[in-house]
Structure 1
């Protein structure tokens, strides 16, 4: 039996939020918009009260909202196309999905009316010593500011990412993805989920608005959810540190901004009823919008190697050192937007 998940919550003039110990995950968040309407953009997976969830990896048991992944992705036995070497950094724990911190309970730090703090200590043989994060509502706005600090145990290069996961309505095309300026859009070099792929594999295009499917047709990958039952990934490289999701039926935008020098990529996880095994059950509909320095979610061995994204000029890992703590800041907000 896994340890019980503890939660902390706080409210401020422009909303309320909840943070859980498992994975240090933030969610749900309810924003109060200036016109008095409410906006709740973060996803909460539908199996959070299922008694069978204790059989799942920690990251999935009460999957929700936003959390940091260190390292991002996981090493695994895969058949990748030529040009995707897996000869980069290897260490014990590199196969844990999205890193140790995504799968264990975090310790509470200072928690008061101004914000919530958490720390996650890593195993003694891991190149990372700890993660520390603080979640602070903006007292003047419908926004939350988050800091993430990484302390390394030894010098290393590792992929790192943030994992905001957003709620999607049932109607196909009800939400529009609006990324900031970027260089290219890359498709996954294989099958994210066997039998559920949509995009032509191992390709790249200039725009998310026109990508190629496996049938050879062109499609707009900005309007979600899709009508098809699929599970797939696209990654934007050279992105300028921001993305918005326009909830057209609900009349608001959720906006995410981050330091582009730390996260030069944006991984988009299209989870659209494509996974049928437990706990997904062909019912999971959500959108991951994930700032990364990583090659998809392929793990340290690929992300620290000479993969195609890195060769094209986008870093897919960052350097960490024990005498140089890493600190990054990012922001989640909501604002009114036109309907339709």
Structure 2
């Protein structure tokens, strides 16, 4: 079976791999005549710097990390050393297998190709029999009239359950400090991660609540503009924009001369997690060389796992859902879109 498939259309090309159903690269042929690839591909995926022994010790999600993929459920095991109000917000017992993989089976298993026309790629994944999710399906459909790709995710539950769900688009960043700008949706509030995502790699003050991405509290005690990336100082951190008014975010790559835009259904995913991966992880396979920006629509509490996401956590207390109720046999379906356009000259 093909491990990856490529699709070409009038405005570009794209590749999807079976592992995680990850989408990347996308190459868009912009009206200016330039070709751009807005999605990120981890540097170790193909360069041979990580041995087979090291690779076998990593969760499959990291083996060929790239681009965009769905997370069913979203999150990982509950971490330690959280702020007290977060540690106390564990929810009811969630009927998941013991030690679930990070970001769910959808992120760590090889999906199966499904019959499809020449205008799309379709994949599916059947979950283990002891999982409350029975099946996930994914359609990747280039827009025949635009530099854009439409995506469709369908989730069929096996049992009634409530789970955090999310999408995981990860965008490439230029090498020049602060040469890209995040154009975020308006949100009810912004929260920083309620702990330390990577020991020694903090970017923001932990467990902070604020209003504007341009005025984020840093780990040094001052304010910083978290909308301009990449940062000069290495670090690894998360922010969550809570209660977004519109499911739309753009990344203006001034160095590359283009804007990448992600749009989604904000009723399904009312928050946006921003993953700042700024050379902050030193262990294999990261090795201090990973720079990328995750713009991740979620119905979740950061990536803290199902027990916290289904509990009375500080985000849920603001009236913003952090998990989605699913009914056995009833398909949950959501659409989203990734597009690119030229930036006006002199916009930087």
Match for residue 78 of structure 1? 80
Q: Which residue of the other structure, out of 307, 312, 315, is the alignment partner of 1:309?
A: 315
Between the aligned partners of 2:264 and 2:275, the Cα distance in structure 1 is 18
Aligned partner of residue 293 in structure 2, secondary structure: strand
Structure 1, gaps ≥5 residues long: none
Q: Which residue of the other structure, out of 258, 261, 273, is the alignment partner of 1:255?
A: 261
CA offsets 1:167-203 (integer angstroms, 9 cap, x no match): 1111111110001221111000000000100111111
Aligned partner of residue 315 in structure 2, secondary structure: helix
Between the aligned partners of 1:93 and 1:58, the Cα distance in structure 2 is 17
Q: Which residue of the other structure, out of 207, 212, 215, is the alignment partner of 1:210?
A: 215
**Would you say how many aligned residue pairs link Structure 1 and Structure 2?**
337
The residue correspondences of 1:123-134 to structure 2 (distance < 5 A) are: 123-134=128-139
Residues 1:18 and 1:206: Cα distance change in structure 2 (over 3 Å): same
Matched, 1:165 2:165: no
The residue correspondences of 1:275-294 to structure 2 (distance < 5 A) are: 275-294=281-300
Residues 1:93 and 1:68: Cα distance change in structure 2 (over 3 Å): farther
Work out whether residues 191 and 210 of structure 2, in 8 Å CA contact, stay in contact via their aligned partners in 1. yes
Between the aligned partners of 2:136 and 2:27, the Cα distance in structure 1 is 26
Matched, 1:47 2:44: yes
Between the aligned partners of 2:56 and 2:329, the Cα distance in structure 1 is 38
Work out whether residues 91 and 311 of structure 2, in 8 Å CA contact, stay in contact via their aligned partners in 1. yes
The residue correspondences of 1:10-159 to structure 2 (distance < 5 A) are: 10-49=7-46, 50=48, 51-52=51-52, 53-84=55-86, 85-90=89-94, 91-93=96-98, 95-159=100-164
Matched, 1:318 2:324: yes
CA offsets 1:83-121 (integer angstroms, 9 cap, x no match): 112233432146310001100100001244200000011
Normalising by the residue count of structure 2, what TM-score does the alignment of the two structures yield? Answer: 0.94
CA offsets 1:276-330 (integer angstroms, 9 cap, x no match): 0000000000000000000000000000000000101111000111132100000
Work out whether residues 259 and 328 of structure 1, in 8 Å CA contact, stay in contact via their aligned partners in 2. yes
Between the aligned partners of 1:115 and 1:224, the Cα distance in structure 2 is 33
Q: Residue 45 of structure 1: CA displacement?
A: 0.4
Q: Which residue of the other structure, out of 309, 327, 330, is the alignment partner of 2:333?
A: 327
Aligned partner of residue 209 in structure 1, secondary structure: helix
Work out whether residues 248 and 338 of structure 1, in 8 Å CA contact, stay in contact via their aligned partners in 2. no
Task: Report the aligned-residue RMSD.
Answer: 1.3
Work out whether residues 174 and 256 of structure 2, in 8 Å CA contact, stay in contact via their aligned partners in 1. no
Normalising by the residue count of structure 1, what TM-score does the alignment of the two structures yield? Answer: 0.96
Work out whether residues 71 and 300 of structure 1, in 8 Å CA contact, stay in contact via their aligned partners in 2. yes
Aligned partner of residue 7 in structure 2, secondary structure: strand
Between the aligned partners of 2:269 and 2:183, the Cα distance in structure 1 is 17
The residue correspondences of 1:257-272 to structure 2 (distance < 5 A) are: 257-272=263-278
CA offsets 1:212-238 (integer angstroms, 9 cap, x no match): 012210010000000011000000011
